[in-house]
Structure 1
Amino acid sequence: MASHPQHDGAPPPLSRRPPPCVLLLRHPLEFSLVNRSLPEDDFRFLKPWESPLPLDDFLSSADARPAEAILTNGRASVTADMLQRLPDVRLVATASAGLNHIDLAECRRRGIAVVTAGDVYSEDVADLAVGLLIDVLRKVSAGDRYVRRGLWSSEGEFALGSKLGSKRVGIVGLGKIGLEVAKRLEVFGCAISYNSRKKKPHISYPFYSNVCELATNCDALVICCGLNEQTHHMITREVLLALGKEGVIVNIGRGSIIDEKEMVQLLVQGELGGAGLDVFENEPNVPEELLALDNVVLSPHSAVFTPESFSDLCDLIIGNLEAFFSNKPLLSPASDE
């Protein structure tokens, strides 16, 4: 799925055909947040929320049947059933970096190309990952609460934080985001190691094929991998115990990569040092126990939410649609790597 196949049945250039139909599974928030308009002159966008029909009924209706592409995000799934109802679809474009909401096997079977947000979000997500780690270690949010509650002038003492420099940080998933995290942490003097599906050529960081061994040799873990069958609950109780009572875990991947129930229990019991979390297993629901812990920093799955990223994403989405329907190479094809 690394490239858009060139074949005899490929769509003709945009200038030689009516505007292609693109099904929007959700309102394109990315465009509205940066005051961009959808290119209505070049594409016919199908908007289910404007129909009186429920989504399932709309997908089976004559209004949806002309769809040749689907535009979605990480919160709207593209299923085998949906693709069966829309036989003319040849492209699925997601505004997400992750792919766990798309039935990739069915897309492959049907010869449907898939494009993602590519590396548009990588720098912003890496910034937040490092920010969460600093916040937990230096107790930035905890200190803010301490001051706002008027405790600074009282007899209460504020707990000491810990320095970031010289920390051993393990990165789980050394893709585009993971590499950006590593680059930032190296500047702070951290020792980087990583776990990935396979050892990365030309990468000098120590590689651990076993994530538990990585945790044993680290002071902090930063979760940067995608969610799939192999990574679901990959961060087990055993991994968290290996990280230790002073260890910190940061998650900017997906909530279900960590066994959340076990993590919460260990944090409450003091068997894990702290956590910086942008994602959760059952969003937007966050375990109540976490709300009372000063060694936990919580973020509402907002790592990608900057106007700069959204503006770049809008350009990428439109560019991918134009490329596909002009039979040109896609800008950010999904990779099996």
Structure 2
Amino acid sequence: MKNILLNGKVPNDCLKLLEERFQLFRLYEADDRAAFLAEHGQKIVGMTGGKVDANLIENLPNLKIIANYGVGYDNVDVKAAHAKNIHVTNTPNRLSPAVAELTLGLMISLARNIPAYHNYVKAGRWAQEGSVPLTAQLAEASVGILGLGRIGKEIAKRCVAFDMDVSYHGRTHQTDQPYRYFDSLIEMAKNVDWLVIIAPGGNETNKIITRDVLEALGAKGCLVNIARGNMVDQQALIELLANNGLRGAALDVFDGEPEVPQALRDLDNVILSPHNGSATRKTRAQMSSQVVENLEAFFERGELLDPVQ
């Protein structure tokens, strides 16, 4: 059996599959990480779980593959891994429908004020106070998607089904896509009602949603973040939401999560979700299988099913 390092906890279904097929070494349980690596580092040929930095890679001289659990891989120093000819894989595709589904759910909830009106009815206020104010709607609104990758395309498809006008911004103009391309994020923000963030995390996109971008989105606009919290200037977001500089925000991720600023939690024009994009039973089971499939394909056949370039 191949020796696999668990650098961090993985879901139970993933752990069970790994235990059935590999010899596992649980670094995250070690009281003395340095001693653990000194004793076992030479044995390790594969790894999953947790943050993988250059220092850890240096202590695993026979490491061949890092099978990341999740589509995002900003927790892995991919450059350091590739410099050592170590392959990196992730778990794309399986989680795209679930993340896209939650994105539209957050958008509908914000546009139609569903949580507040749910509480209004439950509290008996409808009978006492009468009808509630009118809301916005998604139909015939415009949406700009930052990051038209696998998940971005799934979101775009669902937005089209809701009769929305779709645009996108990314590193490249994808000429095979039917949506309007903006080479400027600020220009896209000026021209849409909704701005959805689904770009990859990492240094290149850290704080990419600046105050200028948020101000360009403006008082008519809503921000949706389903990617990474640190991609947004969170303080500027709070200030603009509190002062009618933005109409609203629907957020599944936060800078510094799971801590969420009280000022953000106190706002009435936000929908908040606890980093729940892929958190369905079906999707997480599929992601667990994909981690193991990536490891098995590499060790048994020398194949890379889901390589990170």
Q: Distance in 1 between matches of 2:11 and 2:283?
A: 13
Q: Which runs of 4+ in 1 moved over 6 A?
A: none
Q: Distance in 2 between matches of 1:20 and 1:219?
A: 51
1:156 CA displacement: 7.1
- Confirm or deny that 1:25 pairs with 2:4: no
Q: For residue 88 of structure 1, what is the amino acid of its counterpart? A: N
- Confirm or deny that 1:37 pairs with 2:16: yes
- Pick from 24, 33, 45: which aligns with 1:68? 45
Q: Distance in 2 between matches of 1:257 and 1:141?
A: 26
**Which digits, 9 at most, give the CA deviation of each residue in 1:95-127, with x for residues without a partner?**
111111111110111001000011111010000
Q: For residue 78 of structure 1, what is the amino acid of its counterpart? A: V
Correspondence for 1:54: 32
For structure 1, list consecutive stretches of 5 or more residues without a partner in the other structure.
1-18
1:228 CA displacement: 2.0
1:39 CA displacement: 4.2
Of Structure 1 and Structure 2, which has the larger fraction of its residues in helix? 2
1:186 CA displacement: 0.2
1:65 CA displacement: 3.3
Correspondence for 1:171: 145
**Which digits, 9 at most, give the CA deviation of each residue in 1:269-327, with x for residues without a partner?**
11100011000010101111122222100000011111111221122111111111123
Correspondence for 2:161: 187
Contact conserved, 1:20 with 1:44, CA < 8 A, in 2? Answer: yes
Correspondence for 1:155: 129
Q: Distance in 1 between matches of 2:292 and 2:17?
A: 8
**Which digits, 9 at most, give the CA deviation of each residue in 1:41-61, with x for residues without a partner?**
53101113454x233442x33
Contact conserved, 2:11 with 2:288, CA < 8 A, in 1? Answer: no
For structure 2, list consecutive stretches of 5 or more residues without a partner in the other structure.
none
Please give the residue correspondences for 1:311-322 in structure 2 after superposition, counting only pairs within 5 Å: 311-322=285-296
Q: Alignment partner of 2:51: what SS? A: coil
Correspondence for 1:283: 257
Percent identity over the alignment?
34
Compute the RMSD of aligned alpha carbons: 1.6
Q: Distance in 1 between matches of 2:184 and 2:35?
A: 46
Contact conserved, 1:24 with 1:46, CA < 8 A, in 2? Answer: yes
TM value normalised by structure 1 = 0.87
TM value normalised by structure 2 = 0.95
Correspondence for 1:80: 54
Correspondence for 1:254: 228
Contact conserved, 2:6 with 2:28, CA < 8 A, in 1? Answer: no
Q: Distance in 2 between matches of 1:57 and 1:158?
A: 63
Q: Distance in 2 between matches of 1:241 and 1:314?
A: 40
Contact conserved, 2:41 with 2:61, CA < 8 A, in 1? Answer: no
Correspondence for 2:104: 130
Q: For residue 171 of structure 1, what is the amino acid of its counterpart? A: I
Between 1:125-134 and 1:153-162, the stretch displaced more is 153-162
Contact conserved, 1:125 with 1:303, CA < 8 A, in 2? Answer: yes
Contact conserved, 1:46 with 1:64, CA < 8 A, in 2? Answer: no
Q: Distance in 2 between matches of 1:30 and 1:265?
A: 40
